Structure 1
Amino acid sequence: MTSPEYSAAPDSSPVLCLNGAEMHIQLCLLAPAQAGGGGAYRLLRFEEHAVAGRANPVLVPAMQRVLEEASIPLERGGLRLACVRGPGSFTGLRLTLSACLGLAEALELPLAGMDYLPLAARAVIQAIPPKKMGPGTLFMVTHARRRQVYCQGFSLPDGEPVTAPDVLMLEDVPALVAAHPGIRLLVGTGMERNREPLEELFAQAQVDVAVLPVDMAHPTPKAFITEAANLTFSRQPIEPLYLRGSDAEENLPAIAALRGLSAEEAREKILRARADSE
């Protein structure tokens, strides 16, 4: 029996990082920069696939290809797995987390979770020219659902979190941003998809902000390399970071009605199905 702290793989084993938080699947395979480990990593392989909700036929073949091209055998304890745990797309997160857990259970591989907003913020800060580095705050604003965004603030220039990750209505974003003085930089898919209403809300609140190109908020191999040095691996499943209920959960009464069920009957069926699968 393994303890939560047990790591089947030595520090010298490679790390396969997966990200499915938004509309792309990213795979980043890293190896320790020095023999015997030590915390620093180098890039072996990096792949990115635009999937738009169709990641299922892409992910596992891509994992297999990346490992084969780097001559990494799938064997017990020979690999560590790091996966973005959220917030983001429910489909992408569940798929990548499930793939990692299945592989980890089969081969006794250690796991580590990565939070998406800090990872994306790291990529942005690494790309910002020094003259724009602050003092101030970088706000990651990513898409959650219609008129909702995931948001977290990070100090400039060091990138430390200054707010907790949260899901906000568009109308609540200016107040969060206004509470932080200095340069205010905003970036992410939530800002891109809601730029007109958000700019109007910022103007009404008289909050000055600068919007960065959305491409800057894409996690890069360099960001994964930096993040990997801070990970702690264990044999425990990665806990997803869901900041809101899924659309299916929130729309359960309407979905149930289409099938001639009440919401309570639908919930009972779900509970029975969960119990039968355990």
Structure 2
Amino acid sequence: MDTTIQAPLILSFETSGETGGVALYRERLLGEIVLSGAETYSRRLLPAVDFLLEHLGLSLSEVSVLAVSIGPGSFTGLRIGLATVKGLALALKKPVVAVESLAALAALFRESSCPLCPVFDARRGEVYAALYRFKDQDLETLMPPSVLSPDVLCERIESPTIFLGEGLRVYGSFFQEKLGPKFIPAPGHLREARASSVAYLAERKVKAGEFADPETLVPLYLRPSEAERKKGLKNV
């Protein structure tokens, strides 16, 4: 009798920014579809999942775990990703793992000895950012996900640091001028969010038994949405 225990098949979703997608992962990346552009994720996520499963000869019933990037990032994108995963979790009765968006970005540079600074444009002259470093193959948080001005972020950079994320499109030149040799931009192919990186961190959470309750899981916004802010102003 074959008593081999197969590793979990993880279906992951990344929708925190303009670039995201879906991936299937079982100890290694089996397949990934990268989605980018202005078209809403609500029209593209499930067709991408169907395409990926079909071309890998797999079915949704074989998926063991659903993983989702929870933010910070685009409010609309995060809501779509989370709603999709919650719906699938309910229909398939599968467990869910939540992964912070900035941590998933940093995980693209697991072999780096430098600090890692993933950055998203948070609008209104601010950025979502965090600082990490890999230590003994584990991602160590030096500064938790925060919303702050680019100037304040630069004040917290003490040594040569790898910057990555969509925030470089807006603030890359500013960081270069402000930080000089301490600013190391990630190469273009490793600068954007990836569902495969979400799956990589999710696999570690599965092994540690760190699952999320899909009924109570909410996005990590860090600040109120524009609609919530306007509503608050009306109530003042």
Q: Is 1:193–2:179 an aligned residue pair?
A: no
Aligned-partner Cα distance in 2 for 1:115–1:11: 26
Aligned-partner Cα distance in 1 for 2:202–2:94: 16
Aligned-partner Cα distance in 2 for 1:235–1:146: 31
1:43–1:221 CA contact under 8 A, matched in 2: no
Give the fraction of aligned pairs with identical amino acids, expressed as a percent. Answer: 25
Q: Which one of the candidate residues 248, 252, 267 is aligned to 2:227?
A: 248
Structure-to-structure mapping, 1:106-185, within 5 angstroms: 106-126=91-111, 133-134=112-113, 136-155=114-133, 159-177=139-157, 180=158, 182-185=159-162
Aligned-partner Cα distance in 2 for 1:226–1:253: 38
Highest RCO, 1 vs 2 (Cα 8 Å, sep ≥ 6): 2
Q: Is 1:22–2:7 an aligned residue pair?
A: no
- Residue 49 (structure 1) aligns with: 35
Aligned-partner Cα distance in 2 for 1:25–1:222: 10
1:111 partner amino acid: V
2:75–2:225 CA contact under 8 A, matched in 1: yes
Aligned-partner Cα distance in 1 for 2:6–2:89: 16
Structural RMSD (CA): 2.9
1:15–1:81 CA contact under 8 A, matched in 2: yes
Structure of greater Rg: 1
Aligned-partner Cα distance in 2 for 1:170–1:235: 32
Q: Structure 1's 120 and 66: CA in aligned 2 closer, same or farther, altered over 3 A?
A: same
- Residue 211 (structure 1) aligns with: 185
2:213 partner amino acid: Q
1:150–1:168 CA contact under 8 A, matched in 2: yes
> 5+ residue gaps in structure 1?
1-9, 32-40, 127-132, 255-262, 268-278
Tell me how far 1:13 sits from its aligned partner: 4.0
Aligned-partner Cα distance in 2 for 1:90–1:14: 28
Aligned-partner Cα distance in 2 for 1:30–1:23: 22
2:69–2:198 CA contact under 8 A, matched in 1: no
Aligned-partner Cα distance in 2 for 1:72–1:153: 37
Tell me how far 1:165 sits from its aligned partner: 0.9
1:137 partner amino acid: P
Structure-to-structure mapping, 1:31-70, within 5 angstroms: 31=26, 41-70=27-56
Q: Structure 1's 171 and 67: CA in aligned 2 closer, same or farther, altered over 3 A?
A: same
Q: Secondary structure at the match of 1:165?
A: strand
- Residue 231 (structure 1) aligns with: 205
TM-score of the aligned structures, taking structure 1 as reference length: 0.70
Tell me how far 1:163 sits from its aligned partner: 1.1
Aligned-partner Cα distance in 1 for 2:73–2:193: 13
Q: Secondary structure at the match of 1:68?
A: helix
Aligned-partner Cα distance in 2 for 1:221–1:247: 26
1:24–1:52 CA contact under 8 A, matched in 2: no
Per-residue CA distance 1:188-225 (angstroms, 9 max, x = gap): 2223312344445447xxx8433333542234576355
Aligned-partner Cα distance in 2 for 1:46–1:70: 10
Of the structure 1 ranges 65-74 and 82-91, higher mean CA displacement relative to structure 2 is found in: 65-74
Aligned-partner Cα distance in 2 for 1:59–1:220: 14
